[in-house]
Structures are given as C-alpha cells and as structure tokens.
Chain A
C-alpha cells in the first residue's frame, strides 16, 4: 500500500505543469485583437511570472499524470535537471516579453508564448510520448517567428526549418515505438546521482539510435546543423531572440537526460565547437555569425554531457543557463541594430556606438560573457566543462575546446561589437533602441555579470549541486591562465587588423552543408523531374502510336471499306451476327438448369 506520508508535496497548483499558463496565455494572445494589444502585452509579462509560481510550489517529484487513449502521460516531473532548464526558460520568456513590448504583431506574440510554453512542457515531460507532443509543438509554433518576417526567403527558410524539425519529431516517435517494443516502457530518463550516472537509452539499439538522431537534429549536430544558420537570421527582430533561447537548449536537456556519459558525444561536441569558428570569421551577416556561435556554445554542452561526470553535467546545465541569457542578449543587441538600421550586414555597419551607446554597452557585456572573461558568466560555467575534460584526461577534446574558446572570442566577442558599433564609421546615426528593448538588454546584462561575480547563485541550482564539492572558478591559476588566453587573442585581433591580415567583410553568401539540399539536392530533383517528364512524354507518345496503329489496322479490316467487307457486305454480316447471337441467347434461355 502506498505510504501517502512519503508522497512529495505538489504545492498550491497541485503539480500542474508550468507550461500550462504560458501556452494558455499564448492561445489567448492569438485571440486578442490589435486594439487590445496592451492586454496581450500584459499577458506576455504575466504568463512567465505565473509559471514561475508553478515551478516554485512543488517538491521534487512526479505530478500531473493523466491517462489519454490508454497511455499514461506524465506532464510534470520536477528534479534538479528539469528545474534549472525550466527556470531559465521562464526568465527568457519574461525577457522576450519585455523586448517585444514595442511590437504589435499578434501572430508573433502568440507563437512566442506557445513556443516558450512548449519548451517548458518538454523539460518537465516525464515520458517519451509527452516529450514527443511538446517536441512537435516546438517546431510548429516556432516557425511562425520566421514566417512573420514576410519575405520570400523567410517563407522558404521557414518551410525548410519546419520540414527538418517535423522529421526530427517523426524520428523521435519512431524511436519511442522501438524503445517501447524493446522494453515495454515509455520512460524518459531518470536522474541518477553520484557515480551512478549512466546513459539512459542504448544508442546501439534501433530505438536509442533514432532518439539520438532526433535529439541531434534539434541540437544541430555537425551536418544536421544548417537549419539553424538558415532560419534564425531570417526571423523577425523579436523572433530571432526568442528562437535563440529554446529549441537547441531543449535538445541539450534531452541529451543530458537520455545520453549522459555517451562517449562519442565528447567528440561530436568538440567538432561542434570548432567548425563554426571558421565560418563565422568570413560571415557578413552578424545575426548569422551569432547563429554559428550558438553551434559553438552547444558544442561545449554536448561535450560535457558526453563526459557524463557530475562536474561535467553540472557544467553543461550551468553553461546552458548562462548561454540562454548571454546569447539572448547578443541577439537582442543585433535585433536593436536591425530594428533601427534595417540591416545587420557588417559591411553596412560601423560607428553605431555614437548614437546607440547603451545598446553597444549591453552588446559588449554579452560579448565578454560569451568570451569567458573573469567576472562574466561563461567564465564560471564553461570552465567546469573544460575542468571535467581535463580530469578525465581527454586531451584532444580539451585542446579543441580551448581553440574554440579563442575562436568564439573572435566572432562573438570581438567581431559582433566591433563591426557593428566601432570599426569604420558608416555615417549612420540611428536613434538608440526603444526603452523596452534597453530594459530587456539591461536585465540580461545584469544576469551576465551577476552570475559571473556571484556564481553561487547558479551553482546552488545545478542538478548535482548536492552530490559534489562546490566548484571554485576564482582560483588564481584559473584567472591568470584565462586572462592569458583572452588577452593574447584580443591582441592577435588588434595586431592582425594593424598589419592588414584580417579579412575585410564582403557581401557574400557563405556556402555550408545546406548546399547539399538547397543546391545539389534541388538540382537533382529538378533534373529528375525534367528527365521524368521527358520519359513520360516519350511513353505517352509510344502508347498513342500503338493505339493509332491498332486503330488503323482494325479500320483496314472491319471498316465498310475494309478487308472483311470485300467478300461479304457489312449489312449482311451484321444481320448474320445478330441472328447467331439471338440463337445463342434462345438456347441459353431454354436450356434446362
């Protein structure tokens, strides 16, 4: 018999998922007309605050279990891992709501909330079916943030994005069914503690492999990553900020839940950190540079998950938390530039600090955070992953991550603020960003510094904070070595600029792996369609010629002028035929049964 005294307290909201108030608010936003836009905006601010109360109320445990169509769906499984992701998603929804206050797009308000709610729903899902439902809702709700831009290229990019993410959902569903066939369970990762951490799904089984592939698409693994650089830069000003927070971090969460300690993830993550560095150097669109930067930072988290120690998993979760904030801040600053100037091409920017000093300041704070300068957030989070790799003696991935740390300093730490706000003066003097955007950026910048200065705030929320000795980022050795790395990299930038070796920005599109399906694949389909069309035409002609030939031959035999008519006239032949058929009918009718 169940001992009710041991059941966890679900709190005043009876263990309802915090996704509920956010998604309901999103649906309401879709129904509220523009003349009541203020009510919509109030909902965007209120929904995450209510969701926060939903997270705060219950003790760790499993709630919100519902039977649907014979399946048991667990909508609220709260533990150390889901809580930290849930909290940062709620913070992101709130910041996005403030950032979007000036914007009157009903579609965008609604989809941003439903998308954020789906992300929360996914991290609190306690089984694979519930995860699948929110996984697909993530894809469907977020595509409107791209389509809301309204340009043909945004529409096309949105279609590609939707196709890839729906495919990810289909793979997740197929993997779920395969896992169920193997184990008879829809369970999705139970948090183990201490030294017991192990991969929940077996990637060598069909189900485990399909689920890993589904997670890998959303996490933008190498060769599966192009939807990110394709779609995010084409989203609206607000849309790109919203998109940067959720999809990829849900995938990181899912990997941490399902594949912690799966060693190949270390190398996948290391490659993810390195290759975007090279592309970002030559990319002209600064929002696309930031999209490459997302890949780069995801690599650190994937690496940490692959290592699978408590320090590494804490590092991955902490870095995801910090990344949502500083990457959001960087996207916000570029969104403000796009909003005021109308472009984020580096070739058309420069000198904007003269008229947008606060945006420039917040961008620099975001840049210093992602670059892991001491006193900024990534310094206290990224170092946990590097320390975990070093502890486990993975020297090559460690070197790759160190290279990527210098690389991210190049493209996100220096290139973004330098080419937008300094460099050559473009002569543009746009107004400073709207107040609501500045407030959102200011709050995000505050968290970037606060986490960097007081890491205990974040460390106390980490999934394994109880199991391990607290990590100390501010040792003399760590500060000095990190300063060596970042200062030498900044000096390299100044030096290469001075001697004219830094490649100047050019208006180009940079081909990436998406060339395979956007150009080569499209070419194959185009060629195949043309060849197929010609083959079909030839086949039709051949059939038509055969029919015409048969018709001509029949005509030459049976027509009034045909061969048969030469001996016996047609009319006589018809009469004889009718008589014979009539006789046959009569015989059949009269014949005994």
Chain B
C-alpha cells in the first residue's frame, strides 16, 4: 500500500521523477495547450501541401477533414458524458453493498 505524504512534499519521489516535476506545473499545462494548437495548425497546413488520394467526397472537398473531425468527435464524446452520467450513473452500492472492487 502507498504512503501518503502531503502533496508537494519531496518524500517518496523517484529520483528520475524529480527531473520531471515540471510536468505538474500549471504553467507547463498552459503552455502545452498552445504547443498542441500550434502542432494541429502545422499538421493541418501540411494536409494542404501533400498529394492526397481521398476515398470519399467529404475528404476530397474539405482538406482539413481529419483535424476538424478529430476535434469534433473527441469533444462530442466528452460532452455527451454529462447527460449520460445523469442517466446511467448510480451510487457505488447500487447493485449490492461493497459491489465495487476498484
């Protein structure tokens, strides 16, 4: 079982992880958003530059199809989570006491 020091406490941190603590900083997370946006823009721009062999009309007529589809599909799946959880979410003991072994 795990020991539970206070968050931010260095005790128990693996030597390798000490070099990676920047991953946890809010500043890094903010920057990552912009880095990812830049990467999406680059990939989308590259889509215009390459020779493509689309199979379907929607790929052919709309060059950034994959980028837009990826964003919309992901967002749709996530946003559907809100109503779905209200619909099918129940307390952990719904089936029987101590049913959840997670």
Give A contacts to B, CB under 8 Å: 149, 151-154, 156, 233-234, 277-279, 281-282, 284-288, 340-345, 351, 353-358, 390-391, 393, 395, 398, 402-403, 406-407, 409-410, 422, 425-430, 432, 476-477, 480-496, 498, 501-503, 506-512, 518-519
25 contacts between A and B (CB under 8 A): A153-B101, A281-B80, A285-B100, A286-B102, A344-B102, A357-B20, A393-B55, A402-B66, A406-B70, A406-B73, A409-B74, A425-B24, A427-B5, A429-B4, A484-B70, A487-B40, A488-B68, A488-B74, A491-B33, A491-B40, A493-B74, A502-B78, A508-B92, A509-B91, A509-B94
Per-position 1/0 for B26-63, Cβ under 8 A of A: 00011011001101100110110011110110000000
Structural contact, B74 and A484, CB atoms closer than 8 A: no
* B residues less than 8 Å from A398 (CB atoms): 55-56
Shortest distance between the CB of B97 and any CB in chain A (Å): 9
- Set of chain B residues within 8 Å of A284, measured between Cβ atoms: 102
67-93 of chain B: CB within 8 A of chain A: 67-71, 73-75, 77-82, 84-85, 88-92
Chain B residue total in the interface (Cβ 8 A):
68
CA separation between A432 and B17, bound complex, in Å? 11
On whether A406 and B69 interact (CB within 8 A), knowing A284-B102, A340-B2, A353-B17, the answer reads yes
Residues in B with CB closer than 8 Å to A286 are 102
Q: B75's closest neighbor in chain A, by CB?
A: A492
Q: Are A494 and B82 in contact (CB under 8 A)?
A: no
Closest to B33 in A: A494
Of all chain B residues, the one with the shortest Cβ separation from A493 is B74
- For A483, A506, A507, the residue with the greatest tally of chain B CB atoms inside 10 Å of its CB is A483
Determine the distance from Cα of A494 to Cα of B88 in the docked complex, in whole angstroms: 26
Nearest opposing residue in chain A for B21, CB measure: A354
Q: Which residues of A contact B16 (CB under 8 A)?
A: 357-358
Whether the Cβ atoms of A509 and B81 lie closer than 8 Å is: no
**Chain B residue, CB-CB nearest to A390:** B55
Partner of B89, one of A342, A354, A481, A510: A510
A506→B89 contact, CB < 8 A: yes
Counting chain B CB atoms within 10 Å of each CB, which of A286, A353, A496, A518 scores highest? Answer: A353
Contact yes or no, B71 A489, CB < 8 A = yes
Q: Of A402, A484, A508, which one neighbours B47 at CB under 8 angstroms?
A: A484
Q: For A344, what are the chain B residues with a Cβ–Cβ distance below 8 Å?
A: 102
Chain B nearest CB, measured from A57 CB (Å): 43
CB pair A503 B3 closer than 8 Å: no
A541 to chain B, nearest CB (A): 34
Is the beta-carbon distance between B52 and A477 smaller than 8 angstroms?
yes
- Within the assembled complex, what's the spacing in Å between the Cα atoms of A391 and B4? 54
Are the C-beta atoms of A282 and B75 separated by less than 8 Å? no
Selected from A154, A395, A476, the residue in CB contact (under 8 A) with B50 is: A476
Task: For the complex, give the distance between the alpha carbons of A485 and B71 in Å.
Answer: 8
With known contacts A281-B81, A353-B20, A491–B88 Cβ distance under 8 A: no
Q: Considering the chains assembled together, what is the distance between the CA atoms of A87 and B79 in angstroms?
A: 41
Contact B71 A488 (CB under 8 A): yes
Partner pick for A351 among B7, B52, B64, B84, CB 8 A cutoff: B7
Q: How far is the CA of A488 from the CA of B72 in the complex (A)?
A: 9
Residues of A within 8 A of B13 (CB): 354-355, 429
Q: Which residues of B contact A355 (CB under 8 A)?
A: 12-14, 17
For residue A286, give the distance in angstroms from its CB to the closest CB of chain B: 8
Q: Which residue, of A286, A407, A494, has the highest number of chain B Cβ atoms within 10 A? A: A494
Find B98's partner among A152, A287, A496, A518 (CB 8 Å cutoff): A152
B92 touches A287 (CB 8 A): no
CA distance A509 to B96 in the complex (A): 11
Q: Give chain A residues whose Cβ lies under 8 Å from the Cβ of B33.
A: 491, 494-495, 498
* Cα of A507 to Cα of B91 in the assembled complex, Å: 7
For B43, give its contact among A480, A507, A512 (CB under 8 Å): A480
Identify A496's interface contact among B4, B39, B78, CB under 8 A.
B78
Known: A480-B43, A480-B46, A492-B71. A277 touches B77 (CB 8 A): yes
Interface centre among B8, B32, B40, B46 (most CB of A within 10 A): B40
| Contacting pair A485 B67 (CB below 8 A) | yes
Complex-state Cα separation, A284 to B52, whole angstroms: 41
Task: Give the residues in chain A near B14, CB-CB below 8 Å.
Answer: 354-357, 432
A407 & B73 in contact (Cβ 8 Å cutoff): yes
Note all chain A residues with C-beta closer than 8 A to B70.
406, 484-489, 492
Question: Which residues of A lie under 8 Å from residue B68 when comparing CB positions?
Answer: 488
A477 touches B50 (CB 8 A): yes
**Bound CA–CA A483/B44 (angstroms):** 9
Seed contacts A402-B69, A429-B13; 10 additional CB < 8 Å A-B pairs: A152-B98, A353-B17, A354-B24, A398-B56, A429-B12, A484-B47, A493-B74, A493-B78, A506-B85, A509-B89
